Amino acid sequence: MVEGLHRVVVTGLGAVTPIGNTVFDYWKGLSTAQNGVQLITLFDSTHHSCHFAAEVKEFDITSILELKDSKRWDRFCQFGVVAARQAVNDAHLIINESNASRIGIAIGSGVGGLLMMETQVHVLNERGPERVSPFCVPMMIPNMVTGLAAITLGAKGPSISTSTACAAGSNAIGDAFRLLQLGKADVMICGGAESAITPLALAGFASAKALSLRNDNPSAASRPFDAERNGFVIGEGAGMLVLETFEHAKNRDANIMAEIVGYGTTCDAYHITSPAPEGIGGAKAIKLALNDGQLLAEEVDYINAHGTSTIINDRNETAAIKSALGRHAYEIPVSSTKSMTGHLLGGSGGIEAVACILAIKHNLVPPTINYESQDPDCDLDYVPNQARELKLNIALSNSFGFGGHNVCLAFRQMA
């Protein structure tokens, strides 16, 4: 611990995911290898080349919002606010005028209100500009999930919205961690939210050759690190953490789940979509997170990989892990929970940080499902198909995004 910096701990979790809309159900899904991929129900995908995704199921926003108001919120905002409220309730955190200015929000989203934008473009083209909703702009901008979470919860401290593609949720958590370390807030509610299962996003990712098109067997489509992988599966949802300074958590006798000790972030400065060769940017982010937490490579017990199920990403992430951890990379489990949830884009860092913390809490490593054939370029222990009991002290969470964004977060068992 660097002198003068506050220790930062995790006291609450929230999750809305394709395999469960609470933290309890999400963890049950991860630990029992549930598969959240199914045929798309949110719209008619008949004319698309891909017909499946990992949708959030049986989600009810009316538990916190009247139906007429909820229709004005884009789906990604609904997910984010519900998960944030779950995390606050889990932390038994009371926000009032006495502490609101010391409680902040940091939420990442890669694309924001894409559904709102697509819907209103259709209105514009079919019915004219006068019929476009006055809520169109406020509800399609990525920062609105942060704004609505702050309004709903009454948090008046630092307010941050990150939009670093698929690293957005992890960047938000890392930036919240930094603010707390520096004493700029006492509590930060942070994570990622996304809902980009839309006609435009599906078509765009398919045109970029990024999606799996395994329409004959959708449940086997998300298969990170497997030799037969052929693209990612788009998912949706949100994952949130309540982070506090250790002193603040201790003073209010909060239940401390884990400690966040490291944050590394870099940019490849290489290509708009492809990672730099041999994962050099990702490797540096991992090393920075370890250095930040004053950790040795040999102390890492588990890595929740970015693991998208694309050829290049999985190969480069494997190289990055080996570069950062050396021989120890072959001695630890590295799993991708995207095999079960699909890829939540900017929301992925949120739910995967939640997964790391729960793995530490339960001493159980989630599996990589659909793993059947080894790729010679991906030669680590990917925890095939079944969760594994293992004493965990240090867990890392990797997130990499279009534009070359790389993030690694380091969590530790609370002594």
Domain ranges of the chain: 10-251, 262-412
Distances in Å between the Cα of 366 and the Cα atoms of 161, 255, 391 are: 29, 23, 13
Token digits of residue 28 = 């049950």
**What pLDDT does residue 94 have?**
98
Provide the annotated active-site residues.
Answer: 166
pLDDT at 380: 98
pTM exceeds 0.95:
yes
Going from the first residue of the chain to its last (415 residues), give the mean pLDDT of each consecutive group of 10, the final group possibly shorter.
Answer: 86 98 98 98 98 96 77 93 97 98 98 95 97 94 97 97 98 98 98 98 97 98 98 98 98 98 97 94 98 98 98 98 98 98 98 98 98 98 98 98 97 91
Residue 237 has φ and ψ, to the nearest 5°, of: 140, -160
- DSSP of 338-395, one letter per residue? HHHH-B-GGGHHHHHHHHHHHHHHHTEEPPBTT--SBBTTB-SB--BSS-EE---SEE
- CATH fold of 262-412: Peroxisomal Thiolase; Chain A, domain 1 (3.40.47)
Closest CA to 375 of 284, 314, 324, 323: 314
Say what the pLDDT of residue 1 is. 55
- Answer yes or no: same fold for 10-251 and 262-412: yes
* Residues 284 and 270 sit within 8 Å (Cβ to Cβ): no
Spatial CA neighbour of 236 closest among 15, 62, 13: 15
CATH class as words, domain 10-251? alpha beta
